[in-house]
Chains A and B, each alone.
Chain A
């Protein structure tokens, strides 16, 4: 399964994080771990849940990998945004910083497990500065050294496709137009985060206090349910009455705009990061609601009341043609009546 056609952002910018991770794996392999290891801590840093050495090892192996994978995805999305010039990616040192921070606590523990059990979770400040600060600083340097490669422009659909869509909608008996954005990262993130949040709610239920259970469990379950609803991506449906935006296979309705309420339809270029601060369901610049999961082109709808909605699309010319043709049908129907 291809998430990206190829990586534009070089992987060597994560060398510092990978080095700290490799050192942690080495220390884990040679460490003599006790039978009972603190796995969860309360707000004062005291252990409130204990686990086995294998659970501890799994945690140490997987958590930095998650940080690295998250960093790779963010960096690649960032590189995709660099069309005309290189921009400093301030997300670049984040994964190295968190891996360094995690390594500090891990190394402090394996050096002397008894200290944590007696005095609570603590880390050597010098070690923290060296690992978290050093890894983050190295990541900043590597990011500055990264060469710039402009991302290719978005392909524009042919005008013939849009014209044919318009012609077919105008002559059809009961037309319906449907478009979806369902990228691979969403198909991974949606069930993955749902499972993580479900696991978190079970963990809180088993080990948390009454306040944590009351606040944390419903929050985690609501988050898991939302991520499951996102499975299937964002869908745009244009029928004879309205333009609808729906979420996932469940089809939760995010927007319904009657064709009569639409004042203008236009194909626009936009920057997900600059204009909306990311991907998904967003409220961005110029008081515009955005619904998109990939790409930098879409259809801007402005309602008669002045509200603005941007629908991301892999083929915005065709989507705009479909909306315009449906509006034309609606106007003809109204004048006939």
Chain B
């Protein structure tokens, strides 16, 4: 698992950790059932507060991405829980896209360029379902 924290990133640390875990699952580096570092271990390695990692893990658990089991620590949920409501999931993604476009505009990147970059990244990485379907 590759995690990188950036002090210049406007997102709080726990969101950066959660995003890194999601990215690892999306890229296929972490598979359902794979272990993650314990909260204590990860906070020591990243030199952040215990509560920061705990908050990130709790958020991922609430989203159905991680599962905690006694004696087994944190693991990628198997199978990954689908969102409770596809409609609300799409609304949430749309909201984040709006934020992303606004962020890009502030950095001088046009919406068209963002669209091209998005298509390029989507082509490079297939979602876990598509990967398992093509295997």
A residues with a Cβ closer than 8 A to B are: 161, 164-165, 168-169, 172-180, 182, 187, 191, 231-233, 235, 237, 239, 249, 251, 315, 318, 322
Contact = CB atoms under 8 A, between A and B. Distances in A.
B23 to A, nearest CB: 9
Q: B5, B7, B29, B37 — which one has the most chain A CB atoms within 10 A of its CB? A: B37
Classify the interface of chain B: helix, strand, loop or mixed.
Answer: mixed
Given A191-B71, A237-B45, A174 B27 contact: no
Given A164-B27, A182-B35, A249-B38, A187 B5 contact: no
Interface residues of B, number: 24
Interface string B40-74: 11101110000000000000000000000001110
Interface string B5-47: 1111100000000000000000111000001011011101110
A237 to B, nearest CB: 6
B4 interface: yes
Shortest beta-carbon contacts, A-B, top 5 = A172-B4, A173-B6, A175-B4, A174-B5, A178-B1
Contacts of B73: 232, 249
A175 B3 contact: yes
Given A161-B29, A191-B71, A239 B45 contact: yes
B90 to A, nearest CB: 27
B106 interface: no
Contacts of B40: 249, 251
Given A179-B1, A180-B35, 7 more contacts: A161-B28, A161-B29, A168-B4, A178-B2, A178-B42, A233-B35, A322-B2
A232 B27 contact: no
B2 A168 contact: yes
A233 B9 CA distance: 33
